[in-house]
Structure 1
Amino acid sequence: MAHPDLPFIYAAHGNRSTVSSYYLGAHGTLEFIRDISTEGTNPAHIAISPDARFLLGINHTSGSFFSIALDNNGHLDNLVQLHRFQGEPGPHKSDQHGSKPHQVGFAPALDEATGEYTIAIPDKGLDVVHFGRFNPQTGSIAFGEEVRLREVSGPRHAVFHPHKPALCAINELSPTVAVISLDAGKP
């Protein structure tokens, strides 16, 4: 994941419990800057907040979400939130033992009324899409809503429609796409 304004690259290490930052030199060279713990296992996806002040991600194997502050220079600073997802696993014997989030997705626009962004996190293990409100001041997410999908759907990726109030979740365990209608940014 590249920083949108600064010469930094961030990497999630799916076989470990850390994310790293690298300086991208003028000739394409990478210089390691720092590792920071995600306080979970198998960080499989990371995203940069729209204001480029936070690095958000999920720990696929340990079923959690994390948010890490970026300092003014784009360096990894500190862990500001860790949230473990709870719920009833889906019935698929080999792939649904517990929460297995796979992605953090931002709605395309700020909610003008609250000053927050809606985020979606598809969870393959629980057959749900978790929704929350990202606070750009603190870097934390207030989780609340979730949409349960059909059993053994295994949502893995999700994308907000750029202009309409909808989210499409691509399911791994069943070859389907679920369309979730959103009202004022909420399911």
Structure 2
Amino acid sequence: MKVANDIRLLSSGPRCGVGEISIPANEPGSSIMPGKVNPTQCESITMGCCQVMGNHTTVSVAGSNGHFELNVFRPVMINAVLQSIQIIGDATMSLAANCVEVSTETHYLGNERFGERRDGSLYDRNGDQGIKANKKEISKYLNSSLMLVTALSPHIGYDKAAKAAHHAHHHELSLKEAVVQLG
């Protein structure tokens, strides 16, 4: 569930979200926001995890109510465990095939190259190819981050490093630009 939610948040955007990664557009965009890429595979994983957590509660309650050496609730426990195994297996295979990785098989249809997903559907190899890092966005965040002040502090002293960080923050500069301006 954590990984699915991290993928959802990291792929949010394109303008007001985190936008550090992009994911394949498996379904048409949102009905209220044309062009939006919905993280449906991640949402599916999260729903499956909720069901598995419910099954865990079923197993816990049924197990705690089995008295003496005979637990008459074993059938519901076994059913919940088997259902959880199936849900986790199906959900992870779907996430892998439709979001994380894309099959490497290649088909040539006319002059264009297409890939085939495990379910047999085709996708444009020049388009969606699984999760991709948005290097430009990541670089922008890294260069505007003030976390590097920690590494700078031993070289210029705590007070100067703190002043540079405050200056960079208040004037919307990179840390490097702030240090150069302050001398």
Counting helix residues as a fraction of each chain, which structure ranks higher?
A: 2
Query: Normalization by structure 1: what TM-score?
Result: 0.19
More strand by share: 1
Larger Rg: 1 or 2? 2
The answer to which structure, 1 or 2, has the higher relative contact order (CA under 8 A, 6+ apart) is: 2
